[in-house]
Amino acid sequence: MTKTVDNRNEQHDNDVQKLLLATADKLFSKHADKQTLEDVASGNFPTALKNSLVEHGFHRLAEENSGFDLGDAFAVLRVAGYHALPFPLAEWILANRYLDNADEEFSTIGRLQDKRITAAPWARDASQYLGVTPQGQVYKISASQWQRDESIAGEARDSASIEDKTAINTADNLFELLALSRCALAVGAMTRLLELVIEQVTVREQFGRPLARFQAIQHDIAAMAGEVAAASKAQEGAAAQLATQRQEDEIAVACARVFEATRATSESAHQLFGAMGFTQEHTLHHFTRRLWAWREDYGNERYWQEILGRNICARGPDNLWPFLASDR
């Protein structure tokens, strides 16, 4: 009887997540149009998109009483990455996990460096700010006189001197969660990249036949698909181990694998699109530039490989196989 109830609950959770992701896909598709992407790259805050997110409750997704778990939030971020959503959804939903905000308020998160907060998306338009250290400590920040900057993707990344900070006690390691958010976004974007490339080589012809008919092109597509599949599984594995003793290790594995894949898939996509893919008018750069930016936001693959290596060495040689063969 208990097993039957558990199965029903699991099916219910799956159905709810499917509905959540379908809603996200429809909403993000509507607002991640070419004009909005270009407006954001020109420094205009996407107010209409922000209001739509509030209307559908996505800004509350990571709150502990939201009815969803963090795994659902990261699944939604994959959809955001798939559409190159020009909004710092990860920062907003994670900030709202720790702050008591009104619906109309936008909050953001930046990195703490000495007495400065840096790389805070759209801090110029935010009402509250959190700062996070590489150790995962979280602080509520008071700051003004924001210095405007942008990422390689053309998205706002602001910095300021800290006027005051208050520690927030939480069991979460926010730095790790933000790193995993970049993995989720990247997997979504790479999934869309693969689709765009397949569409391109199917319709574009060379020497009288589609590019997809050439063996070298087929090899490149297969390699891209392998990278995306491996990255997807690594990110899903990390999301499944949140709030367990394996969280840091699994996130390190995910970041190492996903960020390696971002390089390979971006290179292949631009090669297969040719000169057209390097133009400002084409949609390709909205994905590849975001991939390059996300890869560096909270530690690139080398950073996480070193963490994973240190953790494995600290366990000792007798515990290597049990670590690899178990999910505990």
- 159-218 pLDDT, tens digit per residue, is 999 999 999 999 899 999 999 999 999 999 999 999 999 988 887 767 667 776 777 888
Residues 109 and 83 in one domain: no
Token pair of 187, please?
A: 């997997």
219 & 312 share domain: yes
User: Which of residues 311 and 278 earns the better pLDDT score?
Assistant: 311
Alpha carbons 66 and 64: distance in angstroms, whole number: 6
For the record, the structure tokens of 246 come out as 């394996």
pLDDT at 57: 92
What pLDDT score does 21 carry?
Answer: 95
Residue 7: predicted pLDDT:
56
DSSP secondary structure, 133-200, as one string: -TT--EEEEEE-SPBP-B-TTS-B-EEEEEEEEEEE--SS-HHHHHHHHHHHHHHHHHHHHHHHHHHH
265 shares its domain with 309: yes
- Name the domain count of the chain: 3
Last residue of a domain, one of 123, 146, 171: 171
Please say whether the beta carbons of 164 and 117 come within 8 A.
Answer: no
Q: What is the CATH number of the domain that holds 248?
A: 1.20.140.10
Q: Are residues 141 and 241 in the same domain?
A: no
226 and 135 inside one domain: no
Residue finishing a domain among 89, 124, 148: 89
Residues 164 and 181 in one domain: no
Same domain assignment for residues 190 and 314: yes
Give pLDDT, residue 271.
86
Same structural domain, 302 and 180: yes
User: What pLDDT band is residue 276 in, cutting at 50, 70 and 90?
Assistant: low
| Same domain (yes/no): 236, 313 | yes
Q: How confident is the model at residue 58 (pLDDT cuts 50, 70, 90)?
A: very high
For residue 38, the enclosing domain spans 1-89
If you average pLDDT over every residue of the chain, what do you get? 89
Domain boundary residue among 171, 188, 210? 171
- Does one domain contain both 152 and 204? no
pTM of the model: 0.92
Is the same domain home to 164 and 194? no
Beta-sheet pairing, 116-120 with 158-168: antiparallel
- 19 is written with which tokens? 């509905």
The 10s digit of each residue's pLDDT in 120-143 is 999 999 999 999 999 999 999 999
Which residue is listed with tokens 């509905």? 19
Residues 181 and 310 in one domain: yes
Per-residue pLDDT tens digits for 279-306: 666 788 999 999 999 999 999 999 999 9
Which residue in this structure is represented by tokens 């390699």?
Answer: 223
Question: Which of 127, 92, 110, 125 minimizes the C-alpha distance to 161?
Answer: 110
